[in-house]
Amino acid sequence: MRPDKEIDAAGLALLAAARTAAGRSQAEAHERCGAAAETADGAVHPGATYAEAGCTALAACAERVAVWSARAASAAPIARIALWMPSSAGAHPCGSCLQVLLELAPGAEFLAQRGDDPPQRLGLERLMPDAFLAFQEPAPTPEHSEDEDQP
C-alpha cells in the first residue's frame, strides 16, 4: 500500500492521538498499538491494545477498543478511525477488527501509520471484501406429518 499524501490536518491529528494512545497499551512492545475513533459530532475516543503474554484469547486490539468506546459514549456515527502501530507490528488490522469496523463503523474513513512511515488511507471493504454483514435466514425444515411415522 502506498502512502497517501492527501491526509488533512484533522486526519494527522487523529493519527497523533492514536500514537499517544499506544503509550497506554498493555502488551508486548511489538504489539503496543493505539487507535482513535472520531464520531460525526467531533468527539475522539482513544483505544489501546490490551494483551496478556501468552493469552491471545483475551486480547483486545486498539481499533476495536476505540470503536467500542465511541459506540458506548455516543449515538453519533463513527466518521474516521486512525490506527498507529509500531514498525515491527504484524499485519493490521486483524480479521476480528475488520469485522467490527465494518459492522460498527460502516463507511468510516480508515487511516493507518506504521511507526514513522508516512500515513496511509486504507479501504476497509478492500481489506475484507467478503465480510459477514448479513446472514440469510436458514431454509425452513419440512413440516413433519404424523402419517409419515406409521408403517
Task: Return the domain boundaries, the chain.
Answer: 12-129
In whole angstroms, give the CA distance from residue 93 to residue 128: 10
What pLDDT score does 109 carry? 93
pLDDT digits (tens, 9 = 90+) for 76-134: 999 999 999 997 666 678 888 888 898 899 889 999 999 998 999 988 777 766 666 55
CA distances to 108, 125, 138, 146 from 19, in Å = 19, 24, 44, 66
Q: Global pTM? A: 0.79
93 prior amide bond cis, ω within 30: yes
Q: Is the pLDDT of residue 148 over 60?
A: no
Band (pLDDT 50/70/90 cuts) for residue 136 is low
55 CB-side CA count, 13 A: 9
Confidence of residue 2 (pLDDT cuts 50, 70, 90): very low
Q: Is 76 helix (H, G, I), strand (E, B) or coil?
A: coil
pLDDT at 93: 84
What is the architecture, at CATH level 2, of domain 12-129? 3-Layer(aba) Sandwich (3.40)
**What is the C-alpha separation between 47 and 104, in angstroms, rounded?**
15
Closest CA to 114 of 143, 85, 137, 88: 85
Which tens digits make up the pLDDT trace of 45-64? Answer: 999 999 887 766 778 999 99
Question: What is the pLDDT confidence band of residue 28, given thresholds at 50, 70 and 90?
Answer: confident
pLDDT for the residue 3: 47
| pLDDT of 9 over the 50 cut | yes
Residue 75 has pLDDT above 60, yes or no: yes
